[in-house]
Amino acid sequence: MLSDTIYAVGSDEVSLQGKIVRNDTGYEGLNVVNGTPACVLSGADSCNFKVNYYSAVTAGTLYYSEKFEDVEIGDSGGIFNLDLGSGTLVSGGSKGSMNEVLLSEKEVFLEIVFDPAGDDSYAETFTRTALGASAYAFGSAADGFNFYNVNDAGESVLTTTTGSVYYNTTDSVLKVYNGGSWVSVGSAGANAWTSENINTWTYDQYMESTGVGTLSNFSLDVDDDRLSINVDQLEGGLTVFSSHTTGSEWPLVSFKADGEGFDATV
């Protein structure tokens, strides 16, 4: 017997508690006893459980499956406790772990399968129940004030809802989904500053259309200390405007080559 909704706590594992009762004729609903079901023994029990994570209350996609073997239920009158996420992987799901499921999917339904014989036959299946979350539970990495940490490969499994945010651990970039693709939060899909690498070019190569002309509109090479502007609009260019009126030792625009060997071209 399980509640309609299962709520998680703040951990990489989720505690699940339920109760197995007898269903033999005349004893339906009573506490288990040795031999009923067969996996309840006078010594250590051999009761097994399988937990399947699905995308829907019926049918749907199987995200992940794990099993728990030799679970003790007789000593507690049929009550069982499972630490979801700590079981043994069962092949067949589209995800590699419970944590991956909970970080990438907002709607998850659990299907508990019971093996009363203790022989891996898994003859009894419970009705699927919704696994709910709150900002302080397993979804806190994204639903609260933090974000998912995902590499390039993991990006493809994230829910593509406009405004969703995650941190890309491959590029070390905070990204937002703009409705069509994942882009850095700083650019949000617009022509904003991006990181470039120009150290493979000579200066002449850099000044060609095949050089700076291939860069983003506004780019910065941090390693080589070069800021580049590549315009393709009539109004494109560089403008400096100052409304300061009280005088200053600071010039509006400064160029200084403090060294020798610089090309004379500006």
Q: Which among 151, 145, 144 has a CA at the least distance from the CA of 167?
A: 151
Contact, 227 vs 212, CB < 8 A? Answer: no
The b-or-e profile of 232-252 (16+ CB within 10 A means b, else e) is eeeeeeeeeeeeeeeeeeeee
Query: What is the predicted pLDDT for the residue at 136?
Result: 41
pTM of the model: 0.53
Average pLDDT over residues 128-145: 57
At 78 the pLDDT is 94
The b/e string for 167-177 (b: 16+ C-beta within 10 A; e otherwise) is bbeeeebebbb
Architecture in CATH of 5-132:
Sandwich (2.60)
Q: Give residue limits of the domains in the chain.
A: 5-132, 147-184, 193-229
Residue predicted with more confidence, 251 or 94: 94
CA distance 16 to 81: 6
Question: Judging by DSSP bridges, how do beta strands 148-150 and 218-221 pair with one another?
Answer: unpaired
pLDDT per residue over 100-131, tens digit each? 888 778 789 999 999 999 999 999 999 999 88
